[in-house]
Structure 1
Amino acid sequence: MQSLQAQLEELGPVLLTVGLNILWALLAVAATWIAAKLVSRAVNRLSERGIDETLVPVLETLAVWATYVVGGLVILDIFGANTTSLVALLGATGLAVGLALKDTLQSIAAGFVLLGLRPFRVGETIQFGSTIGTVRKIGLFTTEMDTPDGLRISAPNDKVWGETLTNFTRNASRRIEIIASIAYGDDIETGMRVLHELVSQEPRILAEPEPAYAVRALADSSVNLHLRAWVKTDEYWDVYWALMKKLKPALEQEGLTIPFPQRQLHIVSGDAKKIVAEQDAAQR
C-alpha cells in the first residue's frame, strides 16, 4: 500500500506536467486556428487597399499555411520535441515528396510565373488551346475559369502556361471584321456604300482607328467585300451582332444579291456529245 502511494506521489508531478502540456497544446491549437482566420481576413482585405485581386488567393493560402506550420512547431516545442531536427526531417521529406510529385510542383511553379508575369488577371476572358473562359481564381495548383456556356473548369497551371495564351479583354478596343458577299453582276460601289451607311448608323464604332473598306476576294460564286472597324472591347459582340442583323436587309434594299454556291452545267449535243462519250469510254 505504501509502495502504491509512493508511486502515485512520484507520478503526480509527471501527470501534472503532462496535463499542463496538453492544456497548453489545446490553447495553442485554438490560438493557431484563430490566428489563421485573422490572417485570412487580413489578406482578403488587401484587395481593398489596391493590391491586385489576382494575388490575394495565393497570398491567403501561403499565409494560412505558414500560420499552421508555426502553430505546429509551437505545439511540438511544448511537448519537448527537438524542433531543429524535425525541421531538417521535414526538409528531407519535402525533397522526397517533391521528386514524387514533380508534376504538381510544375503546376506550382507555373502558378508563380503566371502571378509574376500577369498575362491575365481575375475577370479577364482568355483562351489557351481550345479552352475559353473568364478567369475566376489563380491558385497555387490550378486556374479556375467560367466557360461561356456556364461551366466552371479548373485547369492545371502548367497546362495554362504551356499553351499560347490569348487575352480577349486586356486591350481597351478590338477590331470587328464583316464580310459582305454580293453577286458578280452587282455593283461593287453600291455594296461599299451599304457598308459605309452601316458604320455611320452605328455610334459605338470608334472613329480612330478609321474603319477600312476593301474588296477582299473574288470568290467562286461571289465578290466578297470586307469591313474592318474598331469598337470598345466590352461592346464587341453587341456591335458585331447588330451589324450582322442589319447587313442582309441593307444589301437587299439596294437591289444587291447575296449569292450561294452554284455550278453551271453545259449540255453537249450532236457530234460533240458523241466525242465526249468516246473520250470518257477510253479513259475508263
Structure 2
Amino acid sequence: MTNLWTNSLGLAELLPLPEARVLQSTFLLVILVFVVWVLWKIAPRLKRQVDPRVVDVVLLVVSGLVALFIGQSALSLWASAAPNAPTVDVFSQLTSAGLRIVITVGVVAAAYIGSGMLVRAVDRFTTETGGLTSHQSEVFSRLTEVAVYLLAGLLLLSVWQVDVRAFLIGAGFLGIIIGLAANETLSALIAGFTLMFSRPFEIGDWIQVPLENGGETDGIVTDITLFSTRIETFSGKYVVLPNDLVTSNTLVNFGRKGRLRIEVEVGIDYDADPKRGVDVAKRAMKEVDEVLNVPRPNAVLTGFGESAVILELRFWIDRPSSRRRWRATTAVIAAVKHAFDREGIKIPVPQREVAGRDETGGFRVVSDFPDQRDRPDQYEGHDRRNRGDPRDRPD
C-alpha cells in the first residue's frame, strides 16, 4: 500500500522527509472529501428512483468504507517512516469486537430502512381506507418506528451479550421511579392515546374546554400531540392544554358537523300581530348572506316579557368559528330591525306606570324647566282641592 502511493506521487526518494508524508496525507484527505462530495451530490437523483432511506444507508456505508480504506493508506504511509515498525492493516485485524460493531451497524441500518418502509405502508393504507385521521396516522407511524427500534435494541443486546434479565429488572425499578415522579405526564400520555382513538375533535375544530380555575376557554385546535392539545383563541392567544384536562372535563365541539345553529331573542309589542312578526323575521333572515338556506332559518314565540312578546330567531351558519358567529348575529339583528321598522312592527322598551295614592296626598311632578318648577299647578287636582286652592272653588 505504501509503495503504491509513493510511486504514484513520484516521491519515493522524499519519503524520509516529513513534508512528503504531510503532502501525501493531504492528497488522501482531498480524495476522501471529493468522493464523499460526489456521493452526496448524486444522492437526490437516486432518491427519486430508489427508497430514500436505502440511498442514505448505502451512501453512509460507502462513505465509511472509503474513509476506512484511505485511513488504512495513511496509517501505512506514516508507519513506513519507522523501518522496524509493524505493518498496519486494519482489514486484517477485525476481532470479535469488530464483528459486533459491523453487526450493530447492519442492524441499525436495517431498522432505519425497515421503519421507513413500514411508516410509508401505514400512510398508504390509511390514505386508501380513510379509517384514520392525519393525527392518528402520524401517531400510529411513530409507534411503529418505536416498535422497530425497540426490537433492534433487543437484538443488539443479545449481540453484545448483555444480561437481559438484569437489564429488565433495572428497567422495572426505573419504571416505578419514573411512574411516581411523572404521574401527571403519564396521565397526559394515556389521555393522548384516548383522544387518538375516541376522536372527539380534529385539527381545525372549534372547541370549548373548562379550565381548572373554573373558567372556560375556546378556540381553534391547531395541534394535537400525545401530551397536550394546542388551541388558538379568537383573541390571538395560544393555549396549551394537558390531554388529561381535556379528557376529564366536559368538552364542547362547535364545529363537529361543519355547521352551527345560533339563537337570538327579540321582542315585539303586545299590540302587534305575533304571526306577522314571525313571518317578517323569517323573510329578513333568508336575505342575510351569512345564514344557510338549509336548514331554513326559523322564528318561534318563546314567552311573554314585561313589555313584549319574545321571539327566538334560529338560524344556521357553516364552517363555524367565533368570528363567523358574531358576523352572522350582527347581520341578522340589523336585517330584522330594518324589516320590523319597514313593516311598522314596534320593538318596545321597558315601560313603567307611576300613580299616586289618594290617601298619601298625591305626589308632585318636578319640571325640567326652571320657570315652571314652583308653579302651583304642578300639584294634582285633588291635592289642590285638599289645600283649598281658590281656583278649584265653585263660582
Q: What is the TM-score when the length of structure 2 is the normalising length? A: 0.54
C-alpha distance in structure 1 between counterparts of 2:206 and 2:116, whole Å? 31
Structure 1 counterpart SS, 2:239: strand
Gaps of 5+ in 1: 1-12, 275-284
Is 1:18 matched with 2:102? no
Letter of the structure 1 residue corresponding to residue 345 of structure 2: L
Letter of the structure 1 residue corresponding to residue 98 of structure 2: G
Letter of the structure 2 residue corresponding to residue 115 of structure 1: M
User: Could you tell me whether the CA contact under 8 Å between 1:204 and 1:239 is conserved in 2?
Assistant: no
RMSD: 3.6
C-alpha distance in structure 2 between counterparts of 1:170 and 1:161, whole Å? 17
Q: What's the CA shift string for 1:57-94, capped at 9, x where partnerless?
A: 32122222222322322333332212343234323322
Structure 1 counterpart SS, 2:95: helix
Query: For 1:16-55, what aligned pairs fall within 5 Å after superposition?
Result: 16-49=95-128, 50-53=130-133, 54-55=135-136
Structure 2 counterpart SS, 1:55: helix
Query: For 1:1-284, what aligned pairs fall within 5 Å after superposition?
Result: 16-49=95-128, 50-53=130-133, 54-129=135-210, 130-171=216-257, 174-184=260-270, 186-201=272-287, 204-206=292-294, 211-214=298-301, 216-229=302-315, 231=316, 233-234=318-319, 237=325, 240-260=329-349, 271-273=361-363
Q: Answer 1 or 2: which has greater strand percent.
A: 1
Q: What is the TM-score when the length of structure 1 is the normalising length? A: 0.72
Q: In the alignment, what sits opposite 1:3?
A: none
Q: In the alignment, what sits opposite 1:10?
A: none
Gaps of 5+ in 2: 1-91, 211-215, 365-395
- Range 137-146 or range 256-265, more displaced: 256-265
Letter of the structure 2 residue corresponding to residue 169 of structure 1: G
C-alpha distance in structure 2 between counterparts of 1:151 and 1:17, whole Å? 59
C-alpha distance in structure 2 between counterparts of 1:14 and 1:264, whole Å? 110
Relative to structure 1, the CA distance from residue 98 to residue 182 in structure 2 (aligned partners, 3 Å threshold; closer, same or farther) is same
Q: In the alignment, what sits opposite 2:49?
A: none
C-alpha distance in structure 1 between counterparts of 2:154 and 2:195, whole Å? 32
C-alpha distance in structure 2 between counterparts of 1:43 and 1:175, whole Å? 38
C-alpha distance in structure 2 between counterparts of 1:241 and 1:255, whole Å? 21
C-alpha distance in structure 2 between counterparts of 1:45 and 1:138, whole Å? 21
Q: Which has the larger radius of gyration?
A: 2
Relative to structure 1, the CA distance from residue 142 to residue 45 in structure 2 (aligned partners, 3 Å threshold; closer, same or farther) is farther
Q: In the alignment, what sits opposite 1:6?
A: none
How many residues are treated as equivalent by the alignment?
A: 259
C-alpha distance in structure 1 between counterparts of 2:189 and 2:178, whole Å? 14
C-alpha distance in structure 1 between counterparts of 2:115 and 2:234, whole Å? 36
C-alpha distance in structure 2 between counterparts of 1:200 and 1:171, whole Å? 21
Structure 1 counterpart SS, 2:335: helix
User: Could you tell me whether the CA contact under 8 Å between 1:57 and 1:138 is conserved in 2?
Assistant: no
What percent identity do the matched residue pairs reach? 31
- Range 19-28 or range 65-74, more displaced: 19-28
Q: What's the CA shift string for 1:164-184, capped at 9, x where partnerless?
A: 121222336543323223345
Q: In the alignment, what sits opposite 2:41?
A: none
The alpha-carbon deviation at position 150 of structure 1 amounts to 4.8
Q: What's the CA shift string for 1:173-215, capped at 9, x where partnerless?
A: 543323223345655444223213224546833357x83421x
Structure 2 counterpart SS, 1:69: helix
Structure with the larger RCO, 1 or 2 (CA within 8 Å, 6+ apart): 1
